[in-house]
Structure 1
């Protein structure tokens, strides 16, 4: 069989990693796929000294790669939205298979891209779009395909996990650690996507679609960042036996699918609570396997390239077989369910509350009365030392599971109390079971 010719578009961190892995491991890759895989062309605006392209055809026009009749697989690694989308659709229109690491594009425009691929009978794969080097897409779509998945939860943004780890280990403020993360290259100059949960939500949207057989619905997910978490919250959580992690959680609860990203208290004894630094991890709970946990690097040149190359190899193995109805989400397109994604107000969780209140008699009673009238049971409650700086104390409350809308109503009333300094900090609690 003739070699499979790959066109790499984008020669940044992941693009250069992919280029180097394909070349360095060419012999092993050929042995495992039964096909020689070569880099037929690179499309990049500039060269990257991290890889030697002196013997490779390089074009400054990435669309030339997508239209090249000699290219079998187009690898989109430029990132972003509009240009990347146009590139992928152009490649599909020209009958190319596509590999991408672009989670934002798949989460927000995947339905359209997958439909175009079905019409042209080509394959679009995206393992590297979620959790870098962790093969979670293959795990959900293939390894656990015989299971009914109940829920999944993950630390799926290394920047956020690094920040929370440093805040907890060294009692540092969010802003201080964020600055270091930017200096180390973990966070962008504009860190919004990482610290406000948008990046994690893109990844969660993709995983949930595969897990539950629903269309991609990023616009219906709930997203909350970590910028309001304080070292005090992390310390109080530890005292209660919990750690704070920025989790993406997808759960099928019978009424619909919960799709939410937010800071979360999880028991310190749980393995997921002990994933630190820039590592990623995903836990999947399913009927047959029980719980399965994957851990690994969520970003970086070669960890992410590992997933890109694995996708290229998967396509190469099946290129000579008749292509019939590609299933990028693991389901026939006409078998996707219309299960609703629940608004956050309809979900249930226990809550950690930190209430900054004046140290006056009756304040505790007023707060607990409001919670009681909303039917919210208290699991634990403590008052911390009064701060000399302002005369206020932190009241820390751990509630039992409650509907989100009821907690919203209770917090609105608590924040109206004269002795309470708004806003009240709320962090949801998950038992991970």
Structure 2
């Protein structure tokens, strides 16, 4: 079975390494060898074990009828979309680890794959090495998925864990994460929640069967979280995690990405460092959690190679995922209900005038008060907070 890789960066080179290292076991499980015939990259890699495989024109792969499986690990929407589209139209099945591509063009690419009798799969696009996509599309197809809660960005989880353990400030821990290679030079996609937003959009599209536009999901990152917030969290027996949520509401889903206060009895509380976890609640199964390395060359490459074996086993048949191009209108986020932790410079009497009975979280800090509201809608909270004024920070309770 001949295959090609488009993009020989961290993940692409990891895929080649997995194919080389586990060649014999893959052959035994598949019944034939997965042979890498082409690697597409504009750069040269002299001395690479696959030096003879490199090409610079993607059309050479598209036009080679021997190649039946193509891996896309380039990143970004373009030119990845153009290249993947042409591969599908040429009758080749494709797997990708590219969440931006899947979130933006997933339904369209699945339609193209369907039209040309091939498959488009993307196990590594959400949980890295965590097998969550096939869990939802194969193992849990007998359940209605009522809720997904995910810590699905290793960069932000590493930063929040270290802020909690060492009392570091945001800018200090960001610089450390960048020095260690956990955070990009431009960390915006991670720290502002955009990466997690795309991932929960993909998962919600899969469980709803319709396309969720990630632009419709209210998203907050961690750049406003401070060491003081963690001092309050500790006082309340909580941790702070960036969580991507999707909860079934009638015929649709209600989604949000934001930092949340999480208690020790809740599953996601214990997910630390660069690890990821996805908690899934089915109407029959109940709650289950899938935990592991959500990023990194070899964990992600492992998921990609798993997709390659899946595609090789299904070269003559299409596997329906059930994600249609029709857009899903999400539930109104202003109707979501939470308890809110608030830090404010307002007087205690004004707090009680606006929010009634509240629970105070005392750190004896000058010029500010921390308190927890009763459960209320986002709309009601926004109205009361605006009337109170002096808001320093707000974190929802999970």
**Into which bin does the TM-score normalised by the smaller protein fall?**
over 0.9
Q: What are the ranges of 5 or more consecutive residues in structure 2 without an aligned counterpart? A: none
Q: 2:365 aligned with 1:365, yes or no?
A: no
Structure 1 distance, partners of 2:129, 2:95, is 15
**SS of equivalent residue, structure 2 residue 181:** coil
Match for residue 118 of structure 2 among 92, 109, 122? 122
Structure 2 distance, partners of 1:149, 1:339, is 16
Deviations 1:371-412 (A, max 9, x none): 24xxxx63x21443243xxxx1x3111122211011011111
> 1:331 aligns to what?
322
Superposed displacement of residue 342, structure 1: 2.1
**SS of equivalent residue, structure 2 residue 301:** helix
Q: In the alignment, is the contact (CA less than 8 A) between 1:163 and 1:177 conserved in 2?
A: yes
Superposed displacement of residue 339, structure 1: 5.1
Q: In the alignment, is the contact (CA less than 8 A) between 1:212 and 1:252 conserved in 2?
A: no
Structure 1 segments of 4+ aligned residues over 6 angstroms from their partners: none
> 1:142 aligns to what?
138
> 2:370 aligns to what?
396
> 1:407 aligns to what?
381
**TM score, norm. by length of structure 1:** 0.88
Match for residue 64 of structure 2 among 68, 73, 77? 68
Structure 1 distance, partners of 2:261, 2:50, is 48
Structure 1 distance, partners of 2:150, 2:343, is 25
Structure 1 distance, partners of 2:299, 2:147, is 26
Match for residue 348 of structure 1 among 337, 342, 346? 337
Q: In the alignment, is the contact (CA less than 8 A) between 2:205 and 2:323 conserved in 1?
A: no
Match for residue 53 of structure 2 among 51, 57, 70? 57
Aligned length: 398
Match for residue 77 of structure 1 among 53, 73, 78? 73
Superposed displacement of residue 173, structure 1: 0.4
Structure 1 range deviating more: 340-349 or 202-211: 340-349
Superposed displacement of residue 50, structure 1: 9.3
- For 1:239-388, list aligned pairs within 5 A: 239-254=235-250, 256-319=252-315, 321=316, 323-324=317-318, 326-327=319-320, 330-331=321-322, 333=324, 340-357=329-346, 363-372=347-356, 378=358, 380-387=359-366
Q: 2:32 aligned with 1:35, yes or no?
A: yes
Superposed displacement of residue 63, structure 1: 3.5
For the aligned residues, what is the CA RMSD?
1.8
Q: In the alignment, is the contact (CA less than 8 A) between 1:351 and 1:427 conserved in 2?
A: yes
Structure 1 distance, partners of 2:63, 2:187, is 35
Structure number with bigger Rg: 1
Q: In the alignment, is the contact (CA less than 8 A) between 1:97 and 1:122 conserved in 2?
A: yes
Superposed displacement of residue 141, structure 1: 1.0
- For 1:420-431, list aligned pairs within 5 A: 420=390, 423-430=391-398
Superposed displacement of residue 216, structure 1: 3.2
Q: 2:8 aligned with 1:11, yes or no?
A: yes
Alpha carbons of 1:49 and 1:218: their partners in 2 closer, same or farther (altered >3 Å)?
Answer: farther
Alpha carbons of 1:412 and 1:86: their partners in 2 closer, same or farther (altered >3 Å)?
Answer: same
Structure 1 range deviating more: 158-167 or 31-40: 31-40
